[in-house]
């Protein structure tokens, strides 16, 4: 259901109450959300920092494809995977 | 510490700002003996604790109680935490909040509100909470939270008086615009243990409610997240209580005592330290009470050699004490516990039909006068 909601034109953004934090104690980026936090790897941070509610999903993928110099389809699969997970957790808006 | 891995920092701090509460829910997790307003810590003491918590690695601060809105300095405390980059969560009954106080909290940087409901039906909800008009007030507060754009979690404790409507409460939370709901079948500690004979549903009721809530989880996928705490006494394996003793979180009482969980003080012989006297980092690392059940050296059989010992950590220490008479024993909820049969006996006995009558939670309590 949520998978179909995410289209090229979607403008993903973290919902209010969901925040990126560079945790100085754990030396890692974390995503803070109600009652939980997720440790993020560098790629997830790169993805979420681009989800500002302005950039369209397709341009987030384009941008990361350029940065990593990787296959676009592969990047799109990773970005979609993370965003759908966060949609299902009610942490992301489109 | 008895295990070799280095101690991880705590991620959550539950700040029990006060035991004062306008409601008197019979399953309250607060201790049976509670200090009143005159024993509570000052604004400055709490702020100092939050500052230390942030340095120690705490990510989430949960303002709890009692009813945290009973504290007049709640806005100041929220602002202090926001300034430290701490994620703040207000765990409230809603009673005691006003439209303007909620607006001020949101403006101070409060991140999230967790609102309790006692039932999906007004009359029953007000009876359970012992507060007339409580349900209507909560519905109003939920509207304010939505107006402010604050994320909302609804929480509901399930027991015999509302078990038939567990799934209705999920529906209600969706109507209120909540992103999350916690459906917690009653855990029997403190007031809930005292009232167990009036709270315990039958196995059939528990299982039906559990299945209906799980059905809602699927139905509302992507709309609301359901966190479902299983009914202990009808389970096969124990819960990973607190995700392990002293592993992730700490509770600070209104008087400054730092505990691994709400009920830890029910275990006799454990020494807990006070944040008014010691640094939070020292308490986390060295307090004998925190170290008592870390790692696995303290475990007995069947836990010690169990393949699930890093999954559920032997279950709950307080429950092991309460039901097996030994805080280091296997939680009797576990099917591997030699005392597991006791759980079914208690559940069957306590779920038997009887005239309803809770012992209401109150600060100054007189057991003799309220005997049942």
- Tens digit of pLDDT for each residue in B207-216? 999 999 999 9
Q: Under a CB-based contact definition with an 8 Å cutoff, are residues B117 and B154 in contact? A: yes
| Residue of B57, B153, B221 with shortest CB distance to A35 | B153
Annotated domain spans of chain A:
3-89
Q: Under a CB-based contact definition with an 8 Å cutoff, are residues A88 and B222 in contact? A: yes
Strand order in the sheet with B60-64: B225-229, B180-185, B152-158, B112-117, B87-92, B60-64, B12-16, B249-252, B258-259
The answer to whether the Cβ–Cβ distance between A34 and B224 falls below 8 Å is: no
- Its ipTM equals 0.94
| Residue of A5, A34, A87 with shortest CB distance to B180 | A34
Residue B153 in contact with partner chain A when CB distance is under 8 A: yes
The answer to whether the Cβ–Cβ distance between B150 and A15 falls below 8 Å is: no
- Of B228, B173, B246, nearest to B5 by C-alpha is B246
Distance of CA B31 to the CA centre of its chain: 12
Q: Which positions in chain A touch B224 (Cβ < 8 Å)?
A: 90
| Matching CATH number, A3-89, of 1.10.760.10, 1.25.40.10, 3.40.50.720, 1.10.10.1150 | 1.10.10.1150
The answer to whether the Cβ–Cβ distance between B225 and A89 falls below 8 Å is: yes
SS3 B372: coil
Determine the longest span between alpha carbons in chain B, in angstroms: 56
* Chain B residue with Cα closest to A37: B59
| Prediction pTM value | 0.94
- Tens digit of pLDDT for each residue in B135-181? 999 999 999 999 999 999 999 999 999 999 999 999 999 999 999 99
Phi, psi of B92 (to 5 degrees): -135, 155
Between residues A22 and B351, the one the model is more confident about: A22
């Amino acid at each position: 259901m949520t998978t179909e909601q995410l289209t090229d034109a979607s403008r993903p953004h973290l919902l209010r109450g969901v925040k990126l934090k560079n945790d100085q104690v754990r030396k890692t980026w974390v995503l803070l959300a109600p009652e939980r936090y997720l440790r993020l790897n560098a790629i997830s941070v790169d993805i979420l920092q681009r989800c500002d509610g302005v950039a369209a999903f397709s341009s987030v993928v384009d941008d990361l494809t350029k940065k990593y110099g990787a296959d676009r389809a592969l990047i799109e699969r990773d970005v979609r995977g993370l965003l759908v997970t966060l949609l299902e957790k009610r942490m992301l808006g489109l | 510490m008895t295990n070799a891995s280095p101690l991880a920092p705590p991620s959550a701090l539950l700040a029990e700002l006060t035991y004062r509460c306008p409601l008197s829910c019979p399953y309250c997790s607060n201790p049976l003996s509670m200090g009143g307003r005159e024993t509570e810590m000052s604004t400055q003491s709490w702020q100092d604790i939050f500052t230390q918590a942030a340095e120690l690695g705490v990510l989430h601060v949960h303002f709890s109680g009692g009813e945290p809105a009973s504290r007049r300095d709640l806005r100041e405390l929220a602002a202090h935490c926001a300034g430290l980059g701490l994620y703040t969560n207000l765990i409230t009954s809603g009673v005691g909040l006003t439209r303007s106080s909620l607006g001020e909290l949101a403006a101070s940087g409060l991140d999230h509100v967790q609102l309790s409901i006692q039932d999906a039906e007004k009359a029953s909800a007000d009876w359970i909470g012992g507060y007339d008009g409580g349900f209507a007030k909560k519905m109003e507060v939920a509207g304010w939270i939505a107006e402010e754009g604050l994320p909302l979690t609804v929480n509901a404790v399930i027991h015999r008086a509302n078990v038939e409507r567990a799934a209705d409460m999920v529906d209600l939370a969706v109507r209120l615009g909540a992103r999350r709901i916690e459906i917690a079948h009653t855990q029997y500690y403190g007031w809930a243990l005292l009232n167990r004979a009036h709270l315990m549903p039958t196995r059939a009721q528990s299982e039906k409610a559990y299945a209906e809530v799980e059905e809602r989880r699927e139905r509302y996928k992507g709309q609301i997240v359901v966190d479902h705490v299983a009914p202990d006494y009808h389970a096969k394996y124990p819960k990973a209580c607190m995700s392990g003793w002293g592993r992730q979180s700490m509770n600070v009482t209104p008087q400054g005592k730092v505990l691994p969980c709400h009920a830890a003080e029910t275990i006799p012989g454990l020494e807990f330290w006070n944040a008014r006297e010691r640094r939070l980092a020292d308490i986390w690392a060295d307090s004998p009470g925190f170290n008592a059940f870390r790692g696995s050296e303290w475990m007995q059989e069947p836990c010690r050699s169990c393949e699930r010992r890093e999954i559920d950590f032997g279950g709950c220490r307080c429950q092991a004490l309460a039901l097996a008479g030994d805080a280091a024993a296997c939680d009797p909820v576990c099917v591997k516990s030699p005392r597991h049969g006791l759980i079914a006996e208690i559940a069957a006995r306590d779920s038997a039909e009887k005239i309803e009558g809770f012992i209401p939670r109150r600060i100054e309590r007189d057991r003799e006068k309220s005997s049942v």
